[in-house]
Amino acid sequence: MVTLGNKEFFPGIGKIQFEGDKSTNPLAFRYYDENRKIGGKSMKDHFRFAVAYWHSFCAGMKDQFGSETRIMPWNDSKDPIQRAKDKMDAFSRALIIANDILEKSPYLKMRKDRYASFDSGIGRDFEEGKLSLEDLRNLALKNGEPAIASGKQELYEAIINMYI
């Protein structure tokens, strides 16, 4: 069931299931099996990556509702093969930068400290999907506006700038 809060928007249509390439069900995956492992990762995990790759490197930071919000220099070539190569070069560089940030900078410790409230109590309940929208609304009404606690935006930006 696809729901937002307690309202069902597509009555009678449950989660789309994998049924294989012989399926005649129009609402079935024939090739996408979220649990199938490829290269040690599930197709579900590969799909998350593919969506992130598409939106970050292929779509000019746009979605289906708008136009491009950023000019991507790797999309400049008129030749589609060269464009694909340029895109992969940019993406490879981004992966190297991300790896360096994760392995050589204080980012992971900062992230752990920032999200420590998700390790127990209401934070853990939220992270595990145990709170409804009504629960979150009531929590917000009870607690009021959150205090600005971070103030570390410049530090995060400096870490990224050290590696690009």
Do 42 and 67 reside in the same domain of the chain? Answer: yes
The predicted pLDDT at position 150 comes to 66
pLDDT means over runs of 10, the chain (164 residues): 60 86 92 89 82 75 73 88 88 86 89 87 90 91 82 83 84
C-alpha distance from residue 50 to each of 32, 46, 53 (Å): 13, 6, 5
The predicted pLDDT at position 25 comes to 92
Examine residue 62 and state whether it is found in any structural domain, yes or no.
yes
Do 29 and 55 reside in the same domain of the chain? Answer: no
The predicted pLDDT at position 19 comes to 95
Examine residue 96 and state whether it is found in any structural domain, yes or no.
no
Report d(CA 137, CA 135) in Å as an integer.
5
Phi, psi of 101 (to 5 degrees): -60, -45
The predicted pLDDT at position 125 comes to 92
The predicted pLDDT at position 137 comes to 92
Phi, psi of 8 (to 5 degrees): -90, 125
Range(s) of the domain holding residue 56: 37-71
The predicted pLDDT at position 162 comes to 86
Examine residue 23 and state whether it is found in any structural domain, yes or no.
yes
**Number of domains into which the chain is organized:** 2
The predicted pLDDT at position 4 comes to 52
